[in-house]
Amino acid sequence: MKPLEGLLVLDFSQFLSGPSAALRLADLGARVIKIERPSVGDACRQLQLNNLELDGDSVLFHTINRNKESYAANLKDAGDLAKVKKLIASADVMIENFRPGTMEKLGLDYERVKQINKRIVYGSITGYGKEGPWRDKPGQDLLVQSLSGLAWLNGNAEQPPMPFALAIADMMTGAHLVQGILACLVRRGRTGEGGLVEASLLESTLDFQFEVLSTYLNDGGQAPLRSSVNNAHAYLGAPYGIYATKDGYIALAMGSVTRLGELLECGKLGSFGDSKTWFTSRDEIKRILAHHLRGRTTQQWLDALEPADYWCADVYDWKRLFAHEAFQALDMVQSVSRTGADVMTTRCPIRLNGEMLKSDKGAPRLGENNEQLDTEFKLLEKLT
């Protein structure tokens, strides 16, 4: 039995942050009903990555909304709103990620929802919090990365700000919301009390940077200095970075520069005996390394470094990774399906008691479960 089996989650959210939180709760056993606008649904249904679409929905929608049900309801219609309120009365968790004020206008903000169901755990995601001058800005991942200072950590010193090529603000915020929801569910198990859990894309992205922001806050506010050579961390010294070899690339993590010079038979690195120079002279050191490492293959360098337990790695693309037995041993890929659509995607990364959390239930069509839910929860009867 999965730990959240028996819990009902209503997912009012769209795009990535809220749906990713609801997905993780579904992976852990909760029943998740996605509340969507009739005819249109979650806008993510049309948010295509690489133009991938299947059975009328984007592959992205299929993957982030697997293992859910769909109930189509116009929240501005009194009849539909009454039915949704009946669902809320039976729910354990509710998730929304609209701009501040939207749920208040619909009469579904936490203060009014808890009058329907005092035990509910209400999860709310915003872009920048519900106060302050940015509260009404669009909460979009690239915009949040840009405003949070994160983009100044990536790329080399002479390059412009570089965002991550992933929706990290969305996914981190979804994970933080799940943490808060689970904490409130634990408290509810002891006290019977529900609660409001709030997270924002900006706060999550700031927390994601806690390591470097703490450095900034404690070293007199010095701006991060990206290396001009193979930058991988604005606050770490040489050799930290990815380097070209004769036939590919090698990643070098933290370690003694002089010891590295011995292992690589690179005598020029022997002059950097003072560990402080590994940061103050990191560009010079990394240029020496970059030139030297091109002289042999990646495997030759790994054969020199790995037996000495020097932290290093090959740099794989997905084709090589998927073919490797280390990836295959993880069994990270699963197939999910609905009639007319079979999608390969990743599984939940969590294991419980040694068991992987998998489900082959695909994302629902818009309003697919309306008739079933109307009957099961007696939604056509008048709300009392």
The rounded distance, in Å, linking the Cα atoms of 49 and 314 is 28
Phi-psi region of 192 (alpha: psi -120 to 50; beta: other; left: phi over 0): left
Residue type, position 373, single letter? L
Element (H, E) at 249: strand 249-252
Using alpha carbons only, give the angle 293, 295, 301 rounded to the nearest 5 degrees: 55
The rounded distance, in Å, linking the Cα atoms of 102 and 151 is 30
Catalytic residue among 27, 57, 109, 170: 170
Rg, Å, the chain Cα set: 25
The rounded distance, in Å, linking the Cα atoms of 277 and 217 is 23
Helices marked H in the chain: 17-27, 59-64, 78-90, 102-106, 110-116, 141-147, 168-191, 201-208, 210-218, 257-264, 277-280, 282-293, 298-305, 318-323, 325-330, 370-376
Whether 170 is a known active-site residue: answer yes
Strand pairing category for 121-126 and 195-200: parallel
Nearest partner of 121 among 187, 216, 199, judged by Cα: 187
Which residues are catalytically annotated?
170
